[in-house]
Amino acid sequence: MLLKNIRDIEIENGIWTITRSDILSLDIIYNNLTDLSYSGTSRIKDEKVENARFPSFAQVFYSLIYQFKKIPSEELLFTEYLKWLKVEFTNFHFIYQNEQYLLEGLKARILRTYPSLIRDIHFYYYLLNSKKFDGVNYSLSRDYYDGIDITITHNNIQYAISLHIGTIRGREYKSRKKYRHNYNHVNEIVLSSDFNRLTKFGNFYLLGDLQLKELIEILNKQD
């Protein structure tokens, strides 16, 4: 018997992989969201921060989920990200790679990303919970390096699901991903949804039944 819901610990060529089965569920996510505040709207963009290449916010987000088994608060995500950057900072500025940036500008950028991170992890568990697919997978590496949000397996065929929300920011983000990544080697499905077709839960807007139905319809046309 393995304790603490650890299913396996693998070491392959010096790389450790710990597999657990108790990190999150759809119910846990919904319970989390009822308690989470959000203050990311109407924050002013700092162009220097916006154009800078910072390490992935998602890496810290998912690491916190693994550590605490729940969605991190916006404040925890921000403070933990600063720790990961290992930067010197005051109440107003921080230094990263010999450049000075406004701390509030970084916070504004992280908090604009925060709802989409929540939307992605929720929809992953939403698809998993639907039991309509042979497999539902997420990889931080594939997300960051290949621009693939979620991978599903349907009728023994893998599809890369790209989630796209029809806001100005969402369109800009998808355009940048298309420029940075080559999707010719995957069966990509762009699941696009206008903001008014999302479901509000607490302070956040989530994908749900409408998007699942649309995805099933697209897959049925592939068969």
Smallest CA-to-CA distance from 126 within 199, 34, 49, 52 is with: 199
Q: What percentage of residues in the chain have a pLDDT greater than 90? A: 78
Tell me the two tokens of residue 216.
Answer: 């099933």
Give the single-character DSSP code of 142.
I
d(CA 163, CA 119): 9
- The pLDDT-based confidence of 181 (bands split at 50, 70, 90) is very low
What pLDDT is attached to residue 147?
87
Q: What is the pTM of this model?
A: 0.90
Q: Say what the pLDDT of residue 209 is.
A: 96
* Measured distance CA(157)–CA(222) in Å, rounded: 10
**Which of 30-44, 94-108, 163-177, 188-202 is the least confident region?**
163-177
pLDDT of residue 90: 86
For residue 170, what pLDDT is reported? 44
pLDDT digits (tens, 9 = 90+) for 149-160: 999 999 999 999
